[in-house]
A and B are shown apart, each in its own frame.
Chain A
Amino acid sequence: MKKTSRLLAAVAGSLLIFTACAYGEEDTGTGEEGTPDDSTEAATEGEAQQGGKVAIPIVADPTFNPWHPNAYAESNVVNRVLFSGLTKPGKDLLPSPDLAEDWETSDDELEWTFHLRDDVEWHDGEPFTAEDVAFTFNEIALDSSLGANNTSYFTEVEEVEVVDDHTVVFHMNSPVAALPAYLSFNTEIIPKHIFEGEDPWELNSFNKGEPVGTGPFKIKDYTSGQSVTLERNENYYGDEALLDEVEYRVLADVNTHVAQVLSGELSIFSLDDTSSIERIESSDGVGVYPRETTRFFWISLNQEEEKFQDKLVRQAMLHAIDREYIIDTVLQGYGTIADAGIAPALEEYYTDDVPRFDYDPDQAEALLAEAGWEKNDDGILEKDGETFEISFEIGIQGDLEPVSQLVQQYLRTAGFDVTLETMEWNTMIDQVVINRDYEMTLNWWRYPADPDLLPYMHSSTAGTGNNIPGYQNEEMDALLEAGSRESDVDARADIYAELQELMAEEQPYLFLWYPQEAQVKVDGLQGVPELAFGDALHYINEWYVEE
């Protein structure tokens, strides 16, 4: 028996070593072992060079059609590389040319003319023309029976007209200053010559098979449930990509993402769960970088509930929550306190010259007293015999749960009787977002690189749209409308400065913080602009792997 045990141990051991040695020969090109651990990116920046590949995690199989109703986040990061939009976010986040070289608007701002590049080819060699743009919008985005993704940005577009092969005009029902920004946000153009006459959602040979785009990379290989590999598009109209390949690995478990970037098998991604940051930062060859994003975290208080309609109560609740502490602990410092909804990433429009409601429990108590709420013998706020009870509904995702637990504790200390109800994400969407059956919830908005927040707090979107709290205020409506129509940047900045002041005062949402993205990147990957991961993907042709 001893002999048998030893023999088995030897067999198992040698098998492991044998495969390990053999595996060691496979080089994914992403693991730059031995590169010095340096906290600054610039220190490791070298000469751009062609070759190598990057590996990016996605949590599910993608759909290679940016307009498909099932094209979720995992699809966006692939489609941004396969396809191009008329515009893309510039490195300053302002809309920058992509398929459209330039654009202008008529005096009444009801016609936007886009001049398209004439040197663009689809991956299958067909020329890209204005017909593709018109088809994408008229036949896909504006066909309400299809329910295409992202169409809520284009509700004011009446029609897209082809002027000539390289010019299109967007005819609008009313002015939308953010149109170029919207055109840079998951609204890539798809080929008319493939989709014409087909059901766009049933065309699996494209959507799940071999997509044809105009981007810097084209499809090479796709194995459902495992990976998508893209190769360089030699006929790309912009600067040819430096990388040979981009591999997307389907990895449902986010813990695996962390383990794989530490083993050098993944190159770059945005980390949602900040609890791993410390471990990644202490490892060699990989770093975590804070990146500004156009997002804000908020607490929504259902305005149908009378107790939340008094702005003094809303202001008091903000005074009661130590947001700085939450940012420092749960978010590991990856965020800045928000006073209104326009993120600092939008430098042209952001202002911090607004009323602020920093952590101050005494001030919270004073404001609540002013609103008629006093603590009873049990320490619970009470007014006219009613105690202040709040049901706090949240969906489980990322850091939402620990954040909400802290918020609950702070509000309890201030005298609010808060009951936290956590639920699965889709259940939350159903209950809170679709049916508005909630009292208080915590979440975030991510929006295109434009300050137009009309969809999130205008009266017209209360009840069924994206105005989750159901907040209604005529003064705010007027400013939101003015901002959404004004295309002159300076005049717009003035409107949004005024709006931010009003938002900060009114707190239609309780603005919590502007999160920064924790971008995880191996040191060997260079040329990635200092943008959020999703935006940096628009510049993937500039990325390179340093040897």
Chain B
Amino acid sequence: MGKFLANRLGQSIVLLLIVSVITFFLINLAPGGPSSVMRMDASPEERQAMIDRLGLDDPVPVRYVQWLGDAVRGDFGTSFSTSEPVTDRVMSRIPYTLELTVFTIVFSVFFGILFGIIAAMKRGGFREYSINFISVIGLSVPGFWLGIMLILLFSVQLGWLPSSGVGPRGADFSFTGWIAHLIMPVLILSTTILPNIVRFTRSSMLEVVSQNYIRTARAKGAKESLVIYVHALRNALIPVVSIIGVLIPRLLSGAVITEAIFGWPGIGSLIIEAARGRDYPLVMGVTIFVTIVVIVCNLIVDMIYSKIDPRVKNV
């Protein structure tokens, strides 16, 4: 296990380096630097003052080496747009994205596995067709469109749910207000991963239930629910766990759209703000953070994988 972790750590550092080089050069060499974000009638002097202030006259490789040196020491610089440390800005947004993604994962895993089992057990029936149909819709309909449709239905037409924000926090916190604000963003974000979990659970279950030990269990007269939930499910879930790990990056990219539509102040909306404002240090900070999250999630999934399936060794 120790060797495995050391290996993974080395790979992760190389990966982080590659991601940082690509991102840094891409954003810095893209046309339209921070001074182009100023209003269109800004004078050339105003634009030059900004370039001087942000030290953007140095060549990109020089600035990268400087950035890397600071980043290694844990200093990700200050945000161009707010002059606050990048780390502070990222950290202040993490809880919101975490809240959204945890709810989405719990919701998607629970309903994804449940619907997957139903689809597998009721093959050829109306329920399987319905679940498959909804999965395909969920996969193919763009989140931003579906988000607006949900707002029009639940906020505009029915007036049931708030269409944006996270609701009152602190002293004014209310449980129902909190949940109400979460429902639509979680539903939309779920469409990015739930259909995959359904499909994987379904095919995995189908494979497992056709195996001899399940037939044996049934032949011994075990109750069907016992066969499905105890004997079949544990083995069927092994590939599902690995797909959840793969889906985490998709979840984070889905958060960008979802947070923008629902005014959710998480990492997703910070990414948009950083890109729109040509806030180079912030773009770098968010990219590195997201990369680390993805690496850690994959590592955790690998470790869980080896626990639930002893045949898999982390070597």
Residues of A near any B CB (own CB < 8 A): 1, 4-5, 8, 15-20, 22-24, 26, 60-61, 63, 69-70, 72-73, 144-149, 151-152, 155, 201-202, 204, 207-208, 223-227, 249-253, 255-256, 259-260, 262-265, 424-431, 433-434, 443, 445, 455, 464-466
Q: A22-B177, A426-B37 are in contact. Are A265 and B44 (CB under 8 A)?
A: no
Q: List, in ascending order, chain A residues with CB within 8 A of B53's CB.
A: 69, 147, 201
Interface residue ranges, B against A (CB under 8 Å): 30-33, 35-50, 52-53, 80-84, 89, 92-93, 96, 111, 114, 118, 121-122, 127, 144, 148, 151-152, 154-156, 158-166, 169, 174, 176-177, 179-180, 183, 260-266, 269-270, 272-273, 276-278
Interface contact B151-A148, CB-CB below 8 Å: no
Number of A-B contacts (CB under 8 A): 204
Cα A433 to Cα B39 in complex, Å, equals 11
Give Cα A147 to B37, complex, Å: 14
List A contacts of B180 (CB < 8 A). 19-20, 22-23
B32→A63 contact, CB < 8 A: no
Task: Give the shortest distance, in Å, between A355 (CB) and chain B (any CB).
Answer: 27
8 smallest CB-CB distances across A and B, nearest first, come from A147-B49, A225-B265, A426-B32, A22-B176, A20-B160, A19-B180, A429-B36, A263-B155
- B148's nearest neighbour on chain A, judged by CB, is A255
Q: Is the CB of A72 within 8 A of B37?
A: yes
Smallest distance from the beta carbon of B12 to chain A beta carbons, Å?
Answer: 29
Tell me how far the C-beta of A153 lies from the nearest C-beta in chain B, rounded to whole angstroms.
Answer: 9
Q: Is B48's CB under 8 angstroms from A147's CB?
A: yes
Residues of A within 8 A of B151 (CB): 256, 259-260, 263
* C-alpha spacing A241/B43, complex, angstroms: 36
A15→B180 CA distance, assembly (Å): 9
Which of A8, A24, A60 interacts with B277 by CB under 8 Å? A60
Complex interface: chain A residues within 8 A of B278 (CB): 426
B165:A434 contact, CB within 8 angstroms: no
Interface residue from B80, B144, B152, B177 paired with A253 (Cβ < 8 Å): B144
A61 to B41, CA, bound (A): 22
Which of the listed residues A69, A204, A256, A429 has the most CB atoms from chain B within 10 Å of its own CB? A69
Given contacts A23-B177, A201-B83, contact A152 B43 (CB under 8 A): yes
Q: Are B163 and A204 in contact (CB under 8 A)?
A: no
Supply 16 further A-B pairs (C-beta < 8 A) apart from A24-B159, A60-B277. A20-B160, A23-B161, A69-B46, A70-B81, A147-B49, A149-B39, A151-B45, A204-B82, A225-B93, A226-B265, A249-B165, A255-B144, A256-B262, A426-B32, A427-B31, A464-B44
A260 surroundings in chain B (CB, below 8 A): 151, 155, 163-164
**Chain A residues whose C-beta falls within 8 Å of the C-beta of B30 in the assembled complex:** 427
In the assembled complex, the Cα of A60 lies from the Cα of B89 at a distance in Å of 14
Q: Could you jot down 26 A-B contacts, CB within 8 Å?
A: A1-B121, A16-B160, A16-B161, A61-B82, A70-B277, A147-B46, A151-B46, A152-B43, A201-B53, A225-B264, A252-B260, A253-B144, A256-B148, A259-B148, A259-B163, A260-B164, A265-B163, A425-B32, A426-B32, A426-B36, A428-B32, A430-B32, A434-B35, A434-B36, A445-B41, A465-B44
Given A16-B160, A60-B277, A63-B82, A430:B49 Cβ within 8 A: no
Taken together as a complex, chains A and B put the C-alpha atoms of A63 and B165 apart, in Å, by: 20
B39: min CB distance to chain A, Å: 7
Among candidates A8, A18, A23, residue contacting B114 with C-beta atoms closer than 8 Å:
A8
Residue of B nearest to A428 (CB): B32
CA distance A427 to B81 in the complex (A): 18
Question: Inside 8 A of A15's CB, which chain B residues have their CB?
Answer: 179, 183
When the two chains form their complex, are residues B164 and A265 in contact, meaning their CB atoms are under 8 A apart? yes
Q: Given A19-B183, A252-B273, do A146 and B49 touch, yes or no (CB 8 Å)?
A: yes
Contacts of A443 in B (CB 8 A): 40
A263 touches B159 (CB 8 A): yes
Complex formed: what's the CA distance from A63 to B82 in Å?
8
The residue that B265 contacts in the complex, of A224, A253, A430, A466, with Cβ under 8 A, is A224
A107 CB to nearest chain B CB (Å): 30
Cα–Cα, bound, A464→B47 (Å): 11
> Considering the chains assembled together, what is the distance between the CA atoms of A263 and B156 in angstroms?
4
A203 to chain B, nearest CB (A): 8
